[in-house]
């Protein structure tokens, strides 16, 4: 991206330079979030080739060795930096997070996005290998804790995000400014972003870049069924719902029949047993949505940012458009500043 500096004797253009672009070696401060069943090599490499940071999702791969193969496959598609997401979440069978982290180290990955519960041991292991850590938080309290662990960047995830929104419902307009007030670690903005106006906005609020999930789902290279992409384009900002709040694992999902049935049981059940809706919120059913295109078959994550998404571009077109829109937005704001002559 190039920013035009107005009100000077010469017109000067210069590329984006933020803490994020400098540390990661990327051209545009845009990160593709790690998404279950979406963060494969096709998408990650396309985002990286476009100038952003693509991310593979570790737990999308059934075993650590499968992650190794996916990392190597991604390297055949891009020579640019890309990262790996490791998310630690409650599960009936706990994945071998240590083994996934070891593969990341063995394969000389330089950037990891972490998220979830008690990430300290994994972060320590990755940091000891010299890996840059972007840690995702939904509260300032968690951000301060992660800062103490020595993470390099924080990803501040507002209530507008898809998937796991946390339990505090603080939107990004407040959360980002609180981050700027409270933490010294550079941070990026996550949740509710789809365009260059959003990028310009988060920079103004103190972030050094932005993370996008739902927007990157709706691209040509996104490895999900075309019906899901069309559902995103046709949706509005009202087409999400929150489930699992009763068990303090609140998730924002696309508002389909299965999600609404799960929400009804969650709200009305006198017993409050998760087993009553477990079959409805199954990750296996959600994966089938992405594979077969029946958007009503299972639950799947999407954010209210769907209301801003009107097309299915390539990642190259999307990232370059974001760059241009951010440039134009910043220039427009600069034009609002009227030069004032000082009185002698």
pLDDT digits (tens, 9 = 90+) for 184-241: 999 999 999 999 999 999 999 999 999 999 999 999 999 999 999 999 999 999 999 9
What is the pLDDT, as a whole number, of residue 339?
72
| Contact yes or no for 280/296 (Cβ under 8 A) | no
- Radius of gyration of the CA atoms of the chain, in A: 20
Residue spans of the chain under pLDDT 70: 1-14, 92, 340-344
204 is written with which tokens? Answer: 């103004």
What is the pLDDT, as a whole number, of residue 11?
40
| Contact yes or no for 155/188 (Cβ under 8 A) | yes
What's the pLDDT tens digit per position in 232-283? 999 999 999 999 999 999 999 999 999 999 999 999 999 989 999 999 999 9
| Contact yes or no for 113/33 (Cβ under 8 A) | yes
Distance of alpha carbon 56 from alpha carbon 63, whole angstroms: 14
* In the chain, where the domains are located: 2-223+309-335, 240-301
Nearest C-alpha neighbor of 286 from the set 38, 40, 32: 38
What is the pLDDT, as a whole number, of residue 89?
83
Domain 2-223+309-335: top CATH class? alpha beta
What is the pLDDT, as a whole number, of residue 14?
55
Distance of alpha carbon 133 from alpha carbon 185, whole angstroms: 11
Using the structure block, give the residue that is written with the tokens 């499968």.
Answer: 66
| Contact yes or no for 152/187 (Cβ under 8 A) | no
Distance of alpha carbon 194 from alpha carbon 65, whole angstroms: 33
What is the pLDDT, as a whole number, of residue 1?
45
């Amino acid at each position: 991206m190039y920013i035009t500096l107005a009100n000077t004797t010469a017109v000067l253009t210069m590329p984006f330079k933020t803490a994020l672009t400098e540390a990661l070696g990327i051209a545009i401060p845009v990160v593709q979030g790690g998404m279950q069943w979406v963060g494969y090599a096709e998408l990650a490499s396309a985002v990286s080739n476009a100038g952003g940071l693509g991310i593979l999702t570790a737990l999308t791969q059934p075993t650590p060795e499968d992650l190794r193969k996916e990392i190597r496959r991604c390297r055949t598609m891009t020579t640019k930096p890309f990262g790996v997401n490791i998310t630690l979440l409650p599960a009936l069978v706990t994945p071998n997070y240590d083994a996934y982290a070891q593969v990341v180290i063995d394969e000389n990955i330089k950037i990891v996005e972490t998220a979830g519960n008690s990430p300290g041991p994994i972060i320590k292991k990755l940091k000891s290998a010299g890996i840059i850590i972007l840690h995702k938080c939904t509260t300032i309290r968690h951000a301060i804790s992660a800062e103490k662990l020595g993470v390099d960047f924080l990803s501040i995830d507002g209530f507008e995000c898809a998937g796991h929104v946390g339990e505090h419902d603080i939107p990004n307009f407040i959360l980002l400014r609180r981050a700027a007030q409270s933490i010294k670690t550079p941070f990026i903005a996550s949740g509710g972003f789809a365009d260059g106006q959003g990028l310009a906005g988060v920079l103004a609020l103190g972030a050094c870049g932005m993370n996008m999930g739902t927007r990157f789902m709706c691209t040509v290279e996104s490895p999900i069924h075309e019906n899901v992409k069309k559902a995103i384009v046709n949706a509005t900002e009202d087409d999400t719902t929150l489930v699992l709040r009763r068990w303090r694992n609140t998730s924002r999902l696309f508002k389909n029949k299965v999600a609404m049935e799960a929400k009804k049981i969650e709200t009305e059940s006198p017993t409050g047993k998760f087993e009553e809706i477990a079959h409805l919120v199954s990750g296996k059913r959600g994966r089938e949505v992405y594979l077969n295109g029946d958007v009503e078959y299972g639950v799947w994550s999407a954010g209210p940012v769907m209301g801003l998404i009107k097309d299915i571009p390539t990642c190259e077109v999307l990232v370059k458009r974001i760059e241009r829109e951010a440039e134009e937005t910043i220039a427009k704001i600069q034009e609002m500043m009227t030069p004032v002559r000082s009185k002698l």
